[in-house]
C-alpha cells in the first residue's frame, strides 16, 4: 500500500573537511522517527560524516562523489533506499557544492510503501556472528547463488526467520547500483572497487 507523499526536505551540510556543520529540523525529526533516536544535533554536529557511513565500498563511492562535486560537477543526484522495518522508502539524494568546498545534501521522498515489518532492518536487534551483504544504495541483499534480491526474498530464500539471532549485515554495493554510479562518475570508471 502506498503512503501519502512525504513532502519534507532532509538537509545536511558538510564543510571542506567533511565535518557535519548543519542539519535541518526535518532531518532531526526524520532520525527520531527512524530508530535512530541517538542521532540528535549534539551527536552529529561537528563530527566527520565518515562516522555515519558504513562499509568500505560505500565510503569509497562517497569519496568519489565528493571529489566530483568539489571539482564542480554539481549537483549530483542519485536514487537510494532508506527503508524502515515496516516501510520501503524510495528516496532521491542531491549533492550540491556550496562556497568554501562545503557540500549540501538534500534528500527527499519519491514514494513510500507499507509492508509487513521486516525484523532484519530493526536496528536495535542483536545479531549473530554471520554476515549478510546489503547494498547501501538500494537495500537489496546478496542471496548466495541467486544474486541481489529484495529483503523479503532474502528472508524467504535464506530462512532468516529460522535464524536466532538474525545475521549481521555488512554494507556494500550491488551490481546494478555500481553500474548506475559509474554512469554518474565517468572519470572514475577506470578505478577498481574493492569487491568487499
Chain positions contacting Zn ion, by CB under 5 A: 135, 137-138, 174, 177
Whole-number minimum distance, CB 75 to Zn ion, in Å? Answer: 21
- Judged by beta carbon, residue 40 or residue 194, the one nearer Zn ion is 194
Whole-number minimum distance, CB 189 to Zn ion, in Å? Answer: 18
Which residues make Cβ contacts (< 8 Å) with residue 109, sequence separation at least 6? 5, 6, 7, 8, 89, 90, 91
Helices marked H in 91-136: none
Distance separating alpha carbons of residues 68 and 71, to the nearest angstrom: 5
Q: Which three cell numbers stand for residue 47?
A: 563530527
- Judged by beta carbon, residue 134 or residue 166, the one nearer Zn ion is 134
DSSP output for 131-177: EEEEETTT--EEETTTEEE-HHHHHHHHTGGGSSSEEEEEEE--HHH
Describe the strand order of the beta sheet including 147-149 as a list of residue ranges. 147-149, 141-143, 127-135, 166-172
> By C-alpha distance, which of 94, 96, 73 is closest to 9?
94
- Judged by beta carbon, residue 160 or residue 174, the one nearer Zn ion is 174
Whole-number minimum distance, CB 81 to Zn ion, in Å? Answer: 8
Whole-number minimum distance, CB 139 to Zn ion, in Å? Answer: 7
- Judged by beta carbon, residue 102 or residue 120, the one nearer Zn ion is 120
Whole-number minimum distance, CB 44 to Zn ion, in Å? Answer: 25
- Judged by beta carbon, residue 79 or residue 165, the one nearer Zn ion is 79
Amino acid at each position: 500500500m502506498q503512503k501519502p507523499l512525504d513532502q519534507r526536505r532532509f538537509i545536511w551540510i558538510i564543510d571542506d573537511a567533511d565535518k557535519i556543520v548543519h542539519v535541518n529540523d526535518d532531518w532531526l525529526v526524520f532520525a527520531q522517527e527512524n530508530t535512530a533516536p541517538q542521532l540528535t544535533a549534539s551527536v552529529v554536529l561537528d563530527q566527520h560524516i565518515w562516522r555515519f557511513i558504513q562499509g568500505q565500498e560505500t565510503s569509497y563511492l562517497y569519496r568519489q562523489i565528493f571529489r566530483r562535486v568539489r571539482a564542480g560537477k554539481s549537483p549530483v543526484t542519485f536514487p537510494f533506499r532508506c527503508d524502515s522495518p515496516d516501510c520501503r522508502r524510495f528516496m532521491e539524494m542531491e549533492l550540491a557544492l556550496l562556497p568554501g568546498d562545503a557540500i549540501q545534501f538534500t534528500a527527499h521522498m519519491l514514494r513510500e510503501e507499507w509492508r509487513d515489518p521486516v525484523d532484519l532492518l530493526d536496528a536495535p536487534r542483536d545479531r549473530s556472528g554471520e554476515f549478510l551483504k546489503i547494498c547501501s544504495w538500494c537495500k537489496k541483499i546478496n542471496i548466495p547463488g541467486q544474486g541481489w534480491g529484495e529483503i523479503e526474498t532474502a528472508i524467504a530464500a535464506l530462512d532468516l526467520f529460522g535464524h536466532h539471532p538474525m545475521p549481521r549485515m555488512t554494507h556494500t554495493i550491488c551490481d546494478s547500483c555500481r553500474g548506475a554510479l559509474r554512469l554518474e562518475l565517468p572519470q572514475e570508471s577506470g578505478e577498481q572497487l574493492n569487491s568487499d
